[in-house]
A and B are shown apart, each in its own frame.
Chain A
Amino acid sequence: MNENIKYNWRYITIAVLFSLFGVAIIAQMIRIQLTVNPSDFPVPGSLGQWETAASRRGLILDRNGHVLAGNQTVYSVDVNFEEFYQSGEIEEVKILAELAIEVFGINNPYLLGFLQQEPRPLTKNITVERFATQEDLLQYLALVEDFYAGITPGLVEGESTEEFSISLEERVEVLDCYDLIRVSCTPHLIRSYPEKKLASNIIGFVMRDTKEGQLGIEEKYDSTLFGNDRTLWALWDPHKADQAPDPDDGANIILTIDSVFQADVEAILDNTIKKTGALAGTVIVMNPKNGEILAMASSPRADINQYWSNDYYDIINNHENIFNYAIKSYEPGSVVKVLTMAAALDAGVVEPDTEFIDEGEIEIGGVTIKNWNEKAWGPQDMTSCMQNSLNVCLAWVATELESESFYNYFQDFGFGQMTGIELSGEAPGLVKSYWSPDYTRSELATNAFGQGIEITPIQMVKAISAIANGGEMVAPRIIHSIIDNGYRYTPPKTVVGHPVSAETAQTLTDMLQESLQNESSLALVPGYSLAGKTGTAEIYIPGIGYKSSATNTSFVGWGPTDDPQFLVYVWIAKPSASIWGSVIAAPVFRKVVEKLVIHLGIPPDAVRMTLQD
């Protein structure tokens, strides 16, 4: 009994200790339940941070996979000045600001004013540069690191710039933004256009700040190219590490253009504009069988990497859509005669050998129509009417056709409607309705030779494809394929009508081939059978009227005539060297075809016939 009593205190002590421990646990549980601020006790499973996976905007490639629009990694560099102030390191603030101004070339007056202001206002994070390239960033970090290491930032005495660059590159591998306190850099992607001005009128550009596509493919396919950034609450719990977001990259777009041929066509166009003193111009090359655009040059063009530059302000911001002349409407002039003649032949109102006595003028709807040289050409057949580009003859042909039939044909050719080409900002053109109250019969005559009517070059290409392609009109397209998540979509060839019969198309092709040969046109390429037509249109100036000294010169042609594989449209606006399409636009066609036959591997007709045999 005494023995039990002797050891009882031990049991009691242990019991008390365990009881106290239990009470403490219960007390803590009650405290947690009754606490005023529950956020002091976060649920362990919810601890984490917002994580954003930056997605890659889809690439734009040419038909051979050459990158026309890609991406580039840049960094947003932030300096936490508040922490410097709190730690009393005022001198560090000054040095870091000076280095940032020097390396990033800061010229933003607001930021510059802030960085150079003394004493500096108390602000937490300052973004010293939002789009720092990797090279600039590494240079900045190296200089900051040098500063912390007690070395005067910049070149060491006796060290050349090259040596400095090499030593910088050696340090690149080990340098990391996170190694430095109070300086943070966040990578993100921006658009990059390695080819600069090449095909810029087709591509468009992406705004740096909003990441919105503007103009061209970038705007038209913004939602397709745009990658969805995925942001979610990523838990710190390692068990749930796989919840980190994955990026949803945008789809890649493959264009139908060949960048090498596009560059050749752009060079031809630029040289022509320079030599002829023209204002602007465009050249479109299309395969008339399937509607694929092989080149679409427009001048002037902008370096879309620098779209904000004052040099390109007029091109980018012009309300008349001069970013791409291929989809801008204008009065094309005599190239429209091809379609007037096609309609008349198809309707059966004229035949190639129909005779017309040209008296030099014709009055229609109270307006006197004259020829381009204001002379009478005497007896003509329809081929010579086309060859000599006689306005009087074609106006008469249109009156034979009558308004209803004429405009129904023009509607069938797609005038006044957008072609649906995959480019932003396409103009629909303007064709007046013959039943509208302000329509006069004289407009039938002027429309017949391409005045008083607004058509885009791409509409002309589409319409002429019906003549070059045996009556079958194809929709022009510039998207070859779209590749999204490993799946490829290739838009099909789209036939958009048969405005004329195959016989009409063949007859007109023969007529235009003959007329081109007869006039010994500057458009001819030795060895190749080509059909084509020039166009010269006076430009209407508001308040003055039509001015014969300012013209739009055009040329449309295709070949080889027995098996058309290309269709070329040229528009040179306001040339000063000559006002005639036959002098300005026809040679452009020849130069383009000379390049094209080599690119496409089209042998001269004689060789081709031998090969076919």
Chain B
Amino acid sequence: MTESLIQAYSNSPRRQKLQIIGSIFMAIITVAVMLILYLVVSARVVSVGRQLQRAKDQIDHLVYQGVNYRNQIAQLSRFGLMEAKAIELGFRPPYPGEVFYVPVVGYTLQPETSVDANEDIHSMVTNVNLLEYHQSLIDWVGEQLGIFLRPFEGL
């Protein structure tokens, strides 16, 4: 009796329609949630992208500013200006007789530290008085012919 009542309840036309509607709503909600998630992520990407673009614009601006500041430093520390300030302060260049060299006992002059490879490795001897400067074309052809015929000598 009880089972037949339950079966009658679940199979009633109204109950069956509600199940279909519920399923559709669930599907819609699922899609909507996914869309919202997509929009949130996309919006975040767009926002970061815009920030990146703005940052790059700022970098460009800072590069131009940096170039100008460096130029200003160079202008303010130029030789003529520094010399004028030094003279204004009462300095003047020394003469050779005014320089004193004091021997320091125990001190030996250390060679300047070089981060380069040994200079000798790079040194090369270039002969500027090369044979090619004097040799005529006929001499050159003769020489090349001699080199070519050398293996055949004695045959």
Contact = CB atoms under 8 A, between A and B. Distances in A.
Contacts of A417: 128
A525 B129 contact: no
Interface of A: 53, 56, 66-67, 70-73, 134, 187, 189, 192, 194-196, 198, 237-242, 244, 247, 259-260, 263-264, 290, 408, 411-412, 414, 417, 475, 490, 492-498, 525-527, 594-595, 597-598, 603-604, 607, 610-611
A259 B79 contact: yes
Interface in B29-66: 45-50, 52-53, 56, 60, 63-65
Contacts of A239: 45-46, 49
Contact of B94 (A189, A198, A598): A598
A239 B52 CA distance: 10
A589 B143 CA distance: 50
A492 B71 contact: no
Interface stretch (B1-9, B19-27, B118-126, B147-155): B118-126
Determine chain B's interface SS by DSSP, over half rule.
helix
**Interface size class of chain B, counting residues whose CB lies under 8 Å from the partner chain:** 35 or more
A525 B96 contact: yes
Determine chain A's interface SS by DSSP, over half rule.
mixed
A611 B100 CA distance: 12
Contacts of A526: 96-97
B83 A263 contact: yes
B129 A194 contact: no
Contact of B129 (A73, A497, A607): A497
Contact of B67 (A72, A196, A263, A496): A72
Contacts of B49: 237-241
Contacts of A408: 129
B126 A497 contact: yes
B79 A195 contact: yes
Contacts of A411: 128-129, 133
Contact of B46 (A56, A238, A527, A607): A238
Nearest to B122: A492
Contacts, number: 122
B67 A56 contact: yes
A72 B65 CA distance: 9
Contacts of B47: 238
Contact of A494 (B48, B83, B126): B126
B128 A414 contact: yes
A495 B126 contact: yes
Interface string B55-90: 010001001110110110111011110010000000
Q: Which 10 A-B pairs have the closest CB atoms?
A: A238-B49, A492-B122, A194-B74, A67-B74, A241-B52, A603-B101, A73-B64, A241-B49, A72-B71, A73-B68
Pick the most buried of B77, B79, B101, B125: most chain A CB atoms within 10 A of its CB. B79
A240 B119 CA distance: 48
Contact of B128 (A493, A497, A525, A604): A497
